[in-house]
Amino acid sequence: MPEIDSTIQIEIKSDDLERQTFRSGGPGGQHQNKTESGVRYIHLPTGIAAESRTERSQHKNDANALALLKARLYRVEELKQQAEVEKLYDEKGEVAWGYQIRNYVMQPYTLVKDVRTAWRRRRCSRCSTAKSMHLCRRFCERRRTRRGKKENSRRFLWLGGLGV
């Protein structure tokens, strides 16, 4: 039986459970088909079922079935949390070669190239944050002409905390 970590709390209301008892088979003997020692719990909101028929006592089977049901509900919650994390990771986009905005080549020659605007500069020392405002202006102008809007290119343009 899986052990439950304490990060996810599983609370099961008694109204959400359906408890069924049944006769569990066994090696035979005088108790065969006389007592209903098998227990099955069904969680009504999710439809998940768990049963236990390993013990001769209905009370022990009841505790086992309830623990198994909690473990299955815990697994469902784990999968939900994992899906949320994967969704956030997928929204981030791919981090791979070809998805960068700007390339800095230092060896064997020096070159700074902005991929969005096809702007190039041979001397990297001249491409500081303050001097690269030209890149941002050019990018905004290009974006504006693509959209066909005549709005101020200096509006909403920020780079490194410096307003343009």
Residue 73 lies in a domain: yes
Q: Tell me, what's the pLDDT at 63?
A: 93
Domain ends where: 70, 91, 112? Answer: 91
Same structural domain, 54 and 106: no
Does this model's pTM top 0.85? My answer is: no
Q: Tell me, what's the pLDDT at 79?
A: 92
Same structural domain, 38 and 81: yes
Domain ends where: 68, 91, 114? Answer: 91
Q: Tell me, what's the pLDDT at 156?
A: 43
Residue 129 lies in a domain: yes
Same structural domain, 49 and 27: yes
Residue 6 lies in a domain: no
Tens-level pLDDT at each residue, the chain (164 residues): 556 566 667 888 889 999 999 887 766 666 666 778 899 999 999 999 999 988 888 899 999 999 999 999 999 989 999 999 888 887 776 777 767 777 777 777 778 788 777 778 776 665 555 556 666 677 677 777 766 654 444 444 444 444 43
Q: Tell me, what's the pLDDT at 126?
A: 55
Nearest CA among 80, 31, 82, 75 for reference residue 55: 31
Could you list the beta-strand ranges (E) of the chain.
17-22, 38-43, 48-52, 102-105, 111-114, 119-121, 158-159, 162-163
Same structural domain, 116 and 150: yes
Q: What is the spatial distance between Cα 64 and Cα 32, in angstroms, rounded to a whole number?
A: 21
Same structural domain, 82 and 108: no
Q: Tell me, what's the pLDDT at 127?
A: 54
Q: Are 155 and 163 in contact (CB under 8 A)?
A: no
Q: What is the spatial distance between Cα 86 and Cα 81, in angstroms, rounded to a whole number?
A: 9
Q: Tell me, what's the pLDDT at 73?
A: 92
Q: What is the spatial distance between Cα 144 and Cα 150, in angstroms, rounded to a whole number?
A: 7
Residue 140 lies in a domain: yes
Same structural domain, 118 and 81: no
Q: Tell me, what's the pLDDT at 158?
A: 42
Residue 97 lies in a domain: no
Q: Are 57 and 37 in contact (CB under 8 A)?
A: yes
Q: Tell me, what's the pLDDT at 153?
A: 42
43-49: Cβ within 8 A, 24+ apart: 43/12, 43/16, 43/17, 43/69, 43/73, 44/16, 44/17, 44/18, 45/16, 46/73, 46/76, 48/72, 48/73, 48/76
Residue 32, C-beta contacts closer than 8 angstroms, at least 6 positions apart = 25, 26
Same structural domain, 77 and 22: yes
Identify residue 134 by its one-letter amino acid code: H
| H or E segment and range at residue 88 | helix 58-91
Q: Tell me, what's the pLDDT at 30?
A: 66
Q: Tell me, what's the pLDDT at 144?
A: 74
Host domain of residue 140: 102-163
